[in-house]
Structure 1
Amino acid sequence: MSTVLGRTGLAVSLFLAPWGFVVANASYAWATRNGGDDSTGANALALAAAHPTILSAAILAAMLGSLLMVPAAIGAMRLIGDRAARLGLVGGVLVAAGYICYFSVAQSSFTALAMVDNDGPRAEYAAVLDASQQNPLVIWVFLLFVLGNLVGTFLLGLALWRSHRVPVWAAAAVMAWPPLHVIGLIVGSEWFEVTGALLETVGFAVVGARLLGRSPEVVAATPALAT
């Protein structure tokens, strides 16, 4: 019974986790549809002042998605099993670690919303935000998120492809997130990230469905974390 419940919980995480980033990216895309970004402290404050409700929803969705991505990565590794165990392990660990870091990155965005709610010196607030982003620890947390978000997701999708436990198109949908995310950053359009998140949602849904469809005995016996 515990195996079935655990497998169900992992599958539910696979179904739900990517939706957090669909909502977060779509909210950010809508907030910046007429321009604006959060690349500097001043820009972040201006964006927060213009769209506080949308950005609050985006931050909350990103935080929930980040929490769920940890069991989702474990669920994917369980399904991958021994056919691509090492690749799945590396990808899954990177994804889990990256999104743990992203939880911290996302929640820090509430600071800009709090600042615009207070009638204080906007220029000094912006300087504080800029200085906080230059802290070496913050930089390392962000870099680990980037590593897990881009490299980890791609490797996890590649492991799903090599495992033959999901259709090729489902694994490709997971692998599509990193390149679409990078393209969006290059061209300056968040809608590429929205598309990538939707594709990842479809791919993870197939992974979750396949995980639910496997017998408890097979899942329990699968050396998913074998090295």
Structure 2
Amino acid sequence: MPDLPVTTPPRTALFCTVLIAAPLLEVVEALISPLANGTTEQDIASIATSPTRFVVSVLIGTLGTFLLLPALLGLARRASTRSPKLAFAAAIAGGTLALTFSGIRLGQAAELAAATGGLSPSAAAHQFDQLTGNAIGATFLTLFLVSNIVGVVLLGIALWRSRLVPIPAIVLFLLFPVLDFALPTHFGAAASHLVLTISFTWMAIALLRSTPARRPAKRDAAREAKKNAEATERSTAQRSTTEGSTTERSTTPSSATGTRA
């Protein structure tokens, strides 16, 4: 029976696209951003010099942040086949990571407003620190850091137990927060998210390849099923005919004996 090639399910293809795009957009943001991870005053001065470049970079990074949520939740769902409770905890941590990161993005809007408000860099930096250096900002930052570490570790263990993705890709995934914290510069952020991009790309390729290579054609499968049903009916009919003939032969002598008597 001829086979037809199996096409990748649209949902899997879309998920793999999101999985790769989320960290890749963060890499692009870090590369084009005018910031150099200096003091707040230096960052304000850089934004005031290149506000359009800053806005474009932040918007690209924000899109990556939005895509990070379905990427992490999708990985957690696929890892839940072997470790449902662990994957559920990883999904909660990953959701917290994405949501708190989105809250931190709002601080960048305040940073832009301070840099383009006509104040001197020192005065704008003081205003920005007052806006973000409070209990709410500290809470968002703490949740972001904790969920980053906890979520990555839990999801990495769940993926390792699921055997769905290569172990080296999981190792790179676990290496991401280490590099992100150890290299607190924009080039460090680009490097850490590049490692994450490689990890997620590796995982995406493994998920795409896990689809069976070929499947039977639907028409041929239906035709084959029809032939099998017809063969079964013929076999049943022949068996019934044979049994009927045997019964007639066994009853004929008795009838003849009764007649002679």
Pairwise TM-score range, normalised by the shorter structure: 0.7 to 0.9
Structure 1 residue 108 and structure 2 residue 107: aligned?
yes
1:163 CA drift (Å): 1.9
Match of 1:12 among 14, 17, 22: 17
Q: Which amino acid aligns with 2:59?
A: L
How many residues align? The count is 204
TM-score normalised over the length of structure 1: 0.77
Structure 1 residue 26 and structure 2 residue 28: aligned?
no
SS at match of 1:119: coil
* Match in the other structure for 1:201: 197
1:215 CA drift (Å): 5.5
Distance 1:106 1:181 in 2: 17
Deviation digits for residues 19-46 of structure 1, max 9, x if unmatched?
Answer: 1211123334x642xxx52x53x23312
* Match in the other structure for 2:136: 137
SS at match of 2:117: coil
* Match in the other structure for 2:188: 192
Distance 2:204 2:74 in 1: 8
Q: Which amino acid aligns with 1:61?
A: I
Decide whether the 8 Å contact of 2:164 with 2:207 is kept in 1.
no
Where in structure 1 are there 5+ consecutive unaligned residues? 217-227
Deviation digits for residues 182-205 of structure 1, max 9, x if unmatched?
Answer: 2113xxx44333222111112112
* Match in the other structure for 1:48: 47
* 1:30-109 equivalent positions in 2, closer than 5 A: 31-32=35-36, 37=38, 39-40=39-40, 42-109=41-108
Distance 1:62 1:153 in 2: 20
Identity of aligned residues (%): 24
Distance 1:27 1:86 in 2: 40
Return 207-216 or 123-132, whichever deviates more: 207-216
Distance 1:191 1:118 in 2: 28
Q: 1:7 to 1:143 in 2, by over 3 A?
A: same
Structure with greater Cα Rg = 2
Distance 2:120 2:199 in 1: 46
Deviation digits for residues 163-188 of structure 1, max 9, x if unmatched?
Answer: 22111111111111111112113xxx
Deviation digits for residues 104-133 of structure 1, max 9, x if unmatched?
Answer: 212321222233333235544322211122
Decide whether the 8 Å contact of 2:42 with 2:121 is kept in 1.
no
Decide whether the 8 Å contact of 2:173 with 2:199 is kept in 1.
yes
RMSD, aligned α-carbons:
2.5
Where in structure 2 are there 5+ consecutive unaligned residues? 1-8, 213-261
Distance 2:173 2:31 in 1: 18
Decide whether the 8 Å contact of 1:31 with 1:54 is kept in 2.
no
Q: 1:68 to 1:49 in 2, by over 3 A?
A: same
Distance 1:105 1:126 in 2: 17
